[in-house]
Amino acid sequence: MDKSTVYDNLPPEFLLRMKEMLGPEYEPFLESFRLPRRYGLRLNTAKISAEEFWRIVPFPVRPIPWIPGGYFYDEDARPSRCPLYQAGLYYLQEPSAMTPASLLPAAPGDVVLDLCAAPGGKATALGAKLAGTGLLMANDVSTSRARALQRNIELFGLSSVIVCDEKPEKLAGRFPGFFDKILLDAPCSGEGMFRKEEALARDWSPEKSESLSRIQKTLILQAADMLRPGGMLLYSTCTFAPCEDEEVIDHLLTERPDMHLLPVDMAEGFSPGNPRYGNDRPELVHCVRLFPHKIAGEGHFMALLRKDGPEEAPSWKEPAPRKASRKEAGEQSLVLSFLEELGIRSLCGRPLDASRLHIQGGKVFYLPAVRPSFEGLSYLRYGMYMGDLKKNRFEPSQPLALALGKSEADAVISLPPEDPRLSAFLRGETISLLPGEAPSPKGWHLLAAAGWPLAFGKLVNGTLKNHVPAGWRIT
């Protein structure tokens, strides 16, 4: 699309308000709509370090200064075609959109909620920070969008997760004071994304913004009520509209006096929030706005808040392990012997915990480390789907292949990322191997790009038979 089209079609009322907001910075802001958008990718820090990525990445990248593990790439690099992407080593995300999850200090062991999570740009970042511990509850009210979220969570190899499609009010009713950290990346008017998605500019109206503001004010109170004392909430939008930004934070601070804004590290190009838009509360300067003329990314707004209470989280009480029936124990041993055969002893850096195996109707799941009851609530995944039991044998799933990091299995056939057999296999083809490329002559193996597992296959006479499920094949 011709960039001048976006520039020419910006809604006049939006421009008037921006002029009033920005004063002398209005012209540079407007000019930024003539500049090309930036492309970014964010590493899956649970799978790969920046040093390792730098060593193997086969296309040019440049670090995004304010995002650890974030990189710019050029539009023509097509990183989604690279097997390293299919191995879940990075997520493609607009650079400014990486900022909210980077400001929420989720840490291993935390119980984290991403309330409006689809398609998973921020949930995957939070899940990587948890590194297989605690719990990431990734929710989106839209079931179709939650399916895309599930796919990205599985691609990232996250195992300690619940992916759900519940109404926020229902979650709020069930999980009062439960979470250590909550991300609320609210539905918004998307003014910050006009350059990227021109349709948003065409659909924009001040009335829509006001109606979204009402939804955001409800959502932020529900989110605050689900935080434990001492917990932290990150509110974000991709709009500049004060009624969806500072005004929502002011509403929260008025309605929930136990919530307080926290200052964040102001990286170069970050702009403070404006107290004028939220009842002149001085602390609104702790909010952050990203403008496309001041940072190499699109527009965003963020606020980090804390609920009064102790630093320390109350420790999560593990549900008492259920005694497995004889049938269950037999089924579990089929799974465990499969894992042993392939030399799988850990999942994404954590030792495999057999007590987290759960088998239901022949489907095998790896339960999250923290397991709240979900009875009566709608979800797509409770834990990671590991595979199926079929006639006394275990068939591994694609999410299981992706939950394995480098060197977490012995039966690995590793090829360089540029080897065309990797993409052929991901398209659903069988591939031929040369002598010495596979660690053993037959049976189940993981095909890997530079050591990072991509998919399972079965080796027979030098041919790796394809086991990539139809829905996971690349076209």
Q: Whole-angstrom Cα distance, residue 426 to residue 385?
A: 20
Between 164 and 400, CB nearer to ligand SAM: 164
How is 239-271 classified by DSSP, letter by letter? ---GGGTHHHHHHHHHH-TTEEEE-----TTEE
Smallest gap from residue 133 Cβ to ligand SAM (A): 22
Structure tokens at 63: 């670090």
Smallest gap from residue 339 Cβ to ligand SAM (A): 32
What residues make contact with ligand SAM under the rule CB under 6 A? Answer: 116-122, 140-142, 145, 168, 185, 187, 215, 219
Q: Whole-angstrom Cα distance, residue 85 to residue 452?
A: 10
CA geometry: angle 187, 190, 191, nearest 5 deg: 150
Task: Confirm whether 164 is a catalytic residue.
Answer: no
Q: Which sign does the torsion angle of CA 92, 94, 98, 100 carry? A: negative
Smallest gap from residue 256 Cβ to ligand SAM (A): 18
Q: Whole-angstrom Cα distance, residue 213 to residue 163?
A: 26
Between 87 and 219, CB nearer to ligand SAM: 219
Q: Map tokens 């004028």 to a residue.
A: 276
Between 140 and 331, CB nearer to ligand SAM: 140
Between 118 and 402, CB nearer to ligand SAM: 118
Between 83 and 120, CB nearer to ligand SAM: 120
Q: Whole-angstrom Cα distance, residue 190 to residue 387?
A: 39
Smallest gap from residue 471 Cβ to ligand SAM (A): 20
How is 450-468 classified by DSSP, letter by letter? TTEEEEEEEEETTEEEE--
Residue of 82, 116, 238, 243 with catalytic role = 238
Smallest gap from residue 268 Cβ to ligand SAM (A): 23
CB–CB of 266/276 below 8 Å? no
Which active-site residues does the annotation give? 238
